[in-house]
Amino acid sequence: MTRGAHVRRASRKGGRPGAWTDPSALQAGAGAVLVASLLLIPEAAASSTPPDLEAIRAAKLVTAVRIDEAIHLDGVLDEPAWQLATPATDFYQQQPAEFEPATHRTEVRFLYDASTLYVGVVLYDESPDDLVVDDLKRDFSGKETDMFGLVFDTFLDQRNAYGFLTNPGGAQRDTEAYDNGRRNDANWHGVWFVRTAVRPDGWSAEFAIPFKTLRFPDRPTQEWGLNLVRIARRANEKTTWAPVPRQFSHYNVAYAGRLLGIAGVGRGRNLQVTPFATARIQPGAPDGDGPPRGDGGLDLKWGVTSSLVLDATYRTDFSQVEADTQQINLTRFNLFFPEQRAFFLENPASFQIGLTDSDSEAPRRDLVPFFSRRIGLSSTGQPIQVVGGLRLTGRAGAQTLGILSMQTDSFEGEPGNNFTAVNVARAVSDAASVGAFYFGREPAGAGGFNRVAGVDLRVSPRRTLEMSAFVMRSSTEGQGGDWAGQADLRLDSSAHRLRLGFVQVGDGFRHDLGFVRRLGVATLFGKYTRVLRPVNSAARVLEYRLGANVEFTGDSHYRRWLTRMDAVNYGMLFADGGELKAWANSTSERLDAPFGIGSSLTVAPGAYRFEEVGANYTSNKSASISGSLEAKAGGFWTGRQRAVDASLRVRFSANFAASATLSRSAIDLPQGSFTGNLVGLKLDCSFTPRMFLNAFVQYNGEANVWLSNIRYNLIHHPLSDLYVVWNETRLPGATQRALLLKFTQTLVF
Q: What is the pLDDT of residues 329-361, one digit of tens each?
A: 888 887 888 888 878 878 888 898 998 776 666
pLDDT at 22 over 60: no
Convert the pLDDT of each residue in 460-477 to its tens digit: 998 889 999 999 999 999
Query: What gap in Å lies between CA 66 and CA 263, rounded to an integer?
Result: 9
pLDDT at 40 over 80: no
Pairing of strands 257-263, 61-63: parallel
Convert the pLDDT of each residue in 101-141 to its tens digit: 999 999 999 999 999 999 999 999 999 999 999 999 999 98
pLDDT at 302: 92
Residue 55: count of CB within 10 angstroms of its CB: 8
pLDDT at 472: 98
pLDDT at 15 over 80: no
The C-alpha angle with vertex 103 and arms to 359 and 581, in degrees rounded to 5, equals 30
pLDDT at 18 over 60: no
Q: Say whether 191 sits in a helix, a strand or coil.
A: coil
pLDDT at 19 over 60: no
Facing residues of 77 across strands? none
pLDDT at 374: 92
pLDDT at 329: 80
Query: In which region does residue 533 sit, left (phi positive, over 0), alpha (psi from -120 to 50) or beta (all else)?
Result: beta
Q: Where is average pLDDT lowest: 24-33, 344-353, 361-370, 560-569? A: 24-33
pLDDT at 26 over 60: no
| pTM, full prediction | 0.86
The C-alpha angle with vertex 47 and arms to 46 and 50, in degrees rounded to 5, equals 125
pLDDT at 93 over 50: yes
Which of 501, 533, 57 shows the shortest CA–CA distance to 254? 57
Which amino acid type is present at position 300? Answer: L
pLDDT at 289: 55
Percent of the chain with pLDDT over 70: 91
pLDDT at 710 over 90: yes
Which of 58, 78, 238, 19 shows the shortest CA–CA distance to 147? 238
What value does the mean pLDDT take over residues 179-194?
A: 86
Query: What gap in Å lies between CA 89 and CA 77, rounded to an integer?
Result: 16
- Residue 282 confidence class, pLDDT cut points 50, 70, 90: confident
Q: Where is average pLDDT lowest: 163-172, 375-384, 711-720? A: 375-384
pLDDT at 425: 94
Task: Say which residue, 308 or 662, is predicted with more confidence.
Answer: 662
pLDDT at 474: 97
pLDDT at 7: 31
pLDDT at 361: 67
The C-alpha angle with vertex 613 and arms to 607 and 615, in degrees rounded to 5, equals 150
Q: Are 473 and 453 in contact (CB under 8 A)?
A: yes
Query: What gap in Å lies between CA 543 and CA 530, rounded to an integer?
Result: 10
Residue 167 phi, psi (nearest 5): -125, 175
Helix or strand (DSSP H, E) at 344: helix 342-345
pLDDT at 331: 82
Q: Say whether 307 sits in a helix, a strand or coil.
A: coil
- Residue 5 confidence class, pLDDT cut points 50, 70, 90: very low
Residue 406 phi, psi (nearest 5): -130, 140
Q: For all residues of the chain together, what is the average pLDDT?
A: 89
Cα torsion 563, 568, 573, 578: sign: negative
Give how far the C-alpha of residue 625 lies from the chain's centroid of Cα atoms, to the nearest Å.
24
Residue 83 phi, psi (nearest 5): -75, -10
Domains of the chain by range and CATH? 53-263 (2.60.40.1190)
Task: Name residues whose C-beta falls within 8 Å of residue 741's C-beta, 6 or more positions apart in sequence.
Answer: 278, 279, 280, 292, 722, 723, 724, 725
Give how far the C-alpha of residue 365 lies from the chain's centroid of Cα atoms, to the nearest Å.
14
Q: Are 541 and 560 in contact (CB under 8 A)?
A: no
pLDDT at 285: 61
State the DSSP string of 26-62: HHHHHHHHHHHHHHTSPSB-PPSPPP-HHHHHHH-EE
Cα torsion 98, 101, 106, 108: sign: positive
Query: What gap in Å lies between CA 530 and CA 521, rounded to an integer?
Result: 30
Q: Where is average pLDDT lowest: 356-365, 415-424, 460-469, 490-499? A: 356-365
Fill in the DSSP letter of residue 24. Answer: H
Which amino acid type is present at position 283? Answer: P
432-444 burial, b if ≥16 CB within 10 A, otherwise e? ebebebbbbbbbe
pLDDT at 654 over 90: yes
Which amino acid type is present at position 668? Answer: D
- Residue 17 confidence class, pLDDT cut points 50, 70, 90: very low
The C-alpha angle with vertex 20 and arms to 18 and 21, in degrees rounded to 5, equals 135
pLDDT at 71 over 80: yes
pLDDT at 32: 43
Query: What gap in Å lies between CA 650 and CA 656, rounded to an integer?
Result: 9
Q: Are 9 and 330 in contact (CB under 8 A)?
A: yes
